[in-house]
Amino acid sequence: MQIYSRRFRDAKPINFGPASPRKLAVHGVDVSRWQGDVDWVNLRSQGANFAYIKATDGGDHMDPMFRTNWRKTREAGLKRGAYHFFYWCRTAGEQADWFIRNVPREPGALPPAIDVEWNGESSCKRRPSRKVVLEKMQVFMDKLEKHYGQRPIIYTAPDFYRDNLKEAFPDYHFWLRAVAEHPSKVYPGRRWLFWQYSGSGLSHGVDGRIDLNVFHGSEDEWHNWVTARSN
């Protein structure tokens, strides 16, 4: 698969110094309904080599653009995966069942991702203990791994990580939000696979702003990782 070099702009550029994400080879995006109707062919040519697409939240909500984005990313040749926004007011089992009902089990798809944050902007204000958080995550991830045959990736943000995820899940890949400093400073000691380095990306192919991400490795390492997921 051809790798397109990064041509994104950023409305709020950050100088990450010698650890700039620009030095990594394989960039991508994540999207939800808020990006509207994306021109994926154009966006790919700007450097979106992969996409994580919001599929579901909670136990009964589906992103209205998921099916369109899922189809169009495949047509445009992007590697893509789906993610679920986890609600702390619903059981883990019903959330896993809802995701499985709506996201195809498709050869070549990237591993599913679980987005774990505090639900501050929703009606669910619950903040369970760290023990309960880890138990609920494990139930959800086990069900997805059994169904899709791939271990889910964990996406998180600094405050939630600090409260719950330090030293947890050492055998899982992490996708970390760090838009002001390098992940090594925000999440010391944590190995990561994807880095969400901007929430203010600008690009041909999408109106408004888009989240920018990068894979932690070389182009060859990306191809090897993707190939291993496809077998």
Classify residue 1: in a domain, yes or no. Answer: no
* Mean pLDDT confidence for 201-229: 95
Classify residue 21: in a domain, yes or no. Answer: no
Classify residue 195: in a domain, yes or no. Answer: yes
Total count of domains within the chain: 1
- We report the CATH number of the domain holding residue 209 as 3.20.20.80
pLDDT-derived band at 114 (thresholds 50, 70, 90) equals very high
Classify residue 10: in a domain, yes or no. Answer: no
pLDDT(231) > 70? no
Structural domain boundaries enclosing 175: 27-230
pLDDT(162) > 80? yes
pLDDT(124) > 90? no
Classify residue 69: in a domain, yes or no. Answer: yes
Q: What is the pLDDT of residue 188?
A: 96
Q: Give me the percent of the chain exceeding a pLDDT of 90.
A: 94
Q: What is the pTM of this model?
A: 0.97
Classify residue 125: in a domain, yes or no. Answer: yes
pLDDT-derived band at 139 (thresholds 50, 70, 90) equals very high
Mean of the per-residue pLDDT values for the chain?
A: 95
pLDDT-derived band at 189 (thresholds 50, 70, 90) equals very high
**Mind telling me the catalytic residues?**
117
pLDDT(102) > 90? yes
Classify residue 13: in a domain, yes or no. Answer: no
Q: 204-217 burial, b if ≥16 CB within 10 A, otherwise e? A: ebbeebbbbbbbbe
Q: Give me the percent of the chain exceeding a pLDDT of 70.
A: 100
Classify residue 120: in a domain, yes or no. Answer: yes
